Amino acid sequence: MGNSQSFPPASQAGSPLQLCLNNVFASSAGSVSYPQNAFYQLLDVKPYNRHIPITPAAVTRPTTSEDISEIVACAGASGVKVQARSGGHSFANYGLGGQDNAVVVDMVHFQQFSMDTSTWQATVGAGTLLRDLKTRLHNAGRRAIAHGTCPQVGIGGHATIGGLGPISRQWGMALDHILEVEIVLANGTITRASATRNPDILFAMKGAAASFGIVTEFVFLTHLEPPNLWSSYSILLGKHADMVSTFATWQSMVADPALDRKLATQVVVFERGMLISATYFGTKEEYKSLNFQQRLAQGRDAPVSVVTLDGWLGVIGSWAERVLLALGGATSIPFYSKSLTVGANNLIPPNGIGELFNYFDTAKKSTPLWFAIFDLAGGAVNDVPQNSTAFPHRNTLFYLQTYAIGIGTLSDVTVTFLTGVSKLLTHSMPEVQFGAYPGYVDPLLNDGPRKYWGVNLEQLQNIKTAIDPGDLFHNPQSVPPA
């Protein structure tokens, strides 16, 4: 609970910020919480990454866009930054502001959903979790959009930063499905953005929204669920150094420009081996014609198991199991994560693969709970011009995502291990300018905005200057004003 005098001025009982927020929520007790409240960290802050302790000035739970407008005004008058939280899965707790003394706008009550059956466009509240979104879309006519697989992720952050998923090679990312948004701006204005109304704001919403405002509602383009699915898994156990040729074969296969877009595949390297998964959005016969397992085996006696999944909801659930295994699901844990983009014209060279897999065997880690995930993108994601959305990584073939979970606490040895993975790859390709996936924020990343938004950063900075010159919507790696 603590003494109010131990908190920054804006967080103290009776401060102008607290008086202002109390007035906003005068008729809805329990919709705003402060550091002085009992169990504030456990019940209200709920940091996703326990390695990064953060104490917000307040956690608010509005129910209307007008509430958010007033919260923004309170924060601005008190000189306090603002960040929205949807599912709360920010890897560096940026949904809490990424540092102490921000006002958190928790979107939990924004659960509106409707489907226009003449256009098959869905209106979705920004607080909707992916597990609820997939079910609501399914029940509204067996519709779907591309999105990730972890059930507790919120669409508000997910669809405005990227949103890669197993069907992205056919449909693009979640943000590529956004047709329109309602947003609250730094001056408190509630407005809408689409291709014909405030197109600059829509551009920023598709990849960098946390720097510009708070989205309350989306209008999404939807698709009919894919009718057929077929999945397989190859598991190799033992020394990673013995798996170099298999990974090299996988990389060569996915680099084929003619690779069927119905195929989604991942490589997950873990403490005791490597898992290669493939999901094919078509018939069993079509999938067999790819000879995916046979080409991958390269004469090795790798155990292979093949399963059929029960429709679209089944494949989302299956991929979600692996994500939950990697990151502990909704559990608050101490961890660190990094990401790198790998382009079709800049594949990992053979010496880089060999050094990397040897490093997996020999490096000190201080935890057995680490994962390196090579996640195929490309396809429809790369059909979109680089400058048409804030998200710039339209020439990426696959992403390397590394994670390590601390046992009790996160060791410096573990952080060094993950940093070493990225250094090995970048050193093996010194001529390549690597980017980073903006959804996997890395608090130790140098020049984060440039790595996240690349050639689009200057345009984003100009938009920021126009609609948020005071940098009200801020986290440690957000888009700065020009």
Answer with the one of 82, 105, 128 that is the final residue of a domain: 105
**309 falls within a domain:** yes
Q: pLDDT tens for residues 392-410?
A: 999 999 999 999 999 889 9
Question: What is the reported pLDDT for 62?
Answer: 97
Q: Write the DSSP assignment of 286-304 as a string of letters.
A: HHHHHTHHHHHHTT----E
Please indicate, yes or no, whether residues 281 and 382 belong to a single structural domain of this protein. Answer: yes
pLDDT more than 90, % of the chain: 78
Provide the mean pLDDT of the chain.
90
Q: What is the mean pLDDT of residues 346-351?
A: 95
pLDDT greater than 80 at residue 212: yes
pLDDT greater than 50 at residue 326: no
Q: pLDDT tens for residues 272-291?
A: 898 888 889 988 888 889 88
Which of residues 304 and 175 earns the better pLDDT score? 175
Answer with the one of 55, 71, 105 that is the final residue of a domain: 105
Nearest Cα neighbor of 220 from 138, 141, 116 is: 116
**478 falls within a domain:** no
**368 falls within a domain:** yes
Please indicate, yes or no, whether residues 145 and 282 belong to a single structural domain of this protein. Answer: no
SS3 468: coil
Please indicate, yes or no, whether residues 305 and 361 belong to a single structural domain of this protein. Answer: yes
Q: What is the CATH number of the domain that holds 48?
A: 3.30.43.10
Q: pLDDT tens for residues 445-476?
A: 999 999 999 999 999 999 999 999 999 999 99
- What global pTM score does this model have? 0.92
Please indicate, yes or no, whether residues 60 and 94 belong to a single structural domain of this protein. Answer: yes
Structure tokens, 310? 């029960």
Interior/surface letters 451-464, b for 16+ CB within 10 angstroms, e for the rest: bbbbebbebbbebb
Range of the domain at 265: 230-440
**Model confidence at 320, in pLDDT bands (50, 70, 90)?**
very low
Please indicate, yes or no, whether residues 89 and 237 belong to a single structural domain of this protein. Answer: no
Structure tokens, 303? 């155990």
Q: pLDDT tens for residues 405-453?
A: 998 899 999 999 999 999 999 999 999 999 999 999 999 999 999 999 9
Please indicate, yes or no, whether residues 154 and 235 belong to a single structural domain of this protein. Answer: no
Please indicate, yes or no, whether residues 246 and 266 belong to a single structural domain of this protein. Answer: yes
Structure tokens, 279? 């999901």
**305 falls within a domain:** yes
**159 falls within a domain:** yes
Please indicate, yes or no, whether residues 132 and 57 belong to a single structural domain of this protein. Answer: no
Please indicate, yes or no, whether residues 57 and 36 belong to a single structural domain of this protein. Answer: yes
Q: pLDDT tens for residues 46-85?
A: 999 999 999 999 999 999 999 999 999 999 999 999 999 9
Q: What is the mean pLDDT of residues 227-253?
A: 88
Please indicate, yes or no, whether residues 388 and 315 belong to a single structural domain of this protein. Answer: yes
**Model confidence at 5, in pLDDT bands (50, 70, 90)?**
very low
Please indicate, yes or no, whether residues 156 and 193 belong to a single structural domain of this protein. Answer: yes
Question: What is the reported pLDDT for 31?
Answer: 95
Interior/surface letters 71-96, b for 16+ CB within 10 angstroms, e for the rest: bbebbbebebbbbbbbbbbbbbbbbb
Answer with the one of 54, 79, 105 that is the final residue of a domain: 105
**475 falls within a domain:** no
pLDDT greater than 60 at residue 316: no
pLDDT greater than 70 at residue 259: yes
Q: In angstroms, what CA-CA distances link 195 with 132, 200, 202, 303, 388?
A: 27, 9, 7, 50, 11
Domain total in the chain: 3
Please indicate, yes or no, whether residues 348 and 244 belong to a single structural domain of this protein. Answer: yes
Question: What is the reported pLDDT for 227?
Answer: 83
Q: What is the mean pLDDT of residues 210-234?
A: 91
Give the H/E segment covering residue 8: none
Q: Write the DSSP assignment of 93-114 as a string of letters.
A: -GGGTSSSSPEEEE-TT---EE
Q: What is the CATH number of the domain that holds 459?
A: 3.30.465.10
**30 falls within a domain:** yes
Question: What is the reported pLDDT for 314?
Answer: 52
Question: What is the reported pLDDT for 299?
Answer: 46
Dihedral (C-alpha) 46, 323, 347, 384: value to the nearest 10 degrees?
A: -80
**301 falls within a domain:** yes
What interhelical angle do 350-362 and 412-428 show, nearest 10? Answer: 170
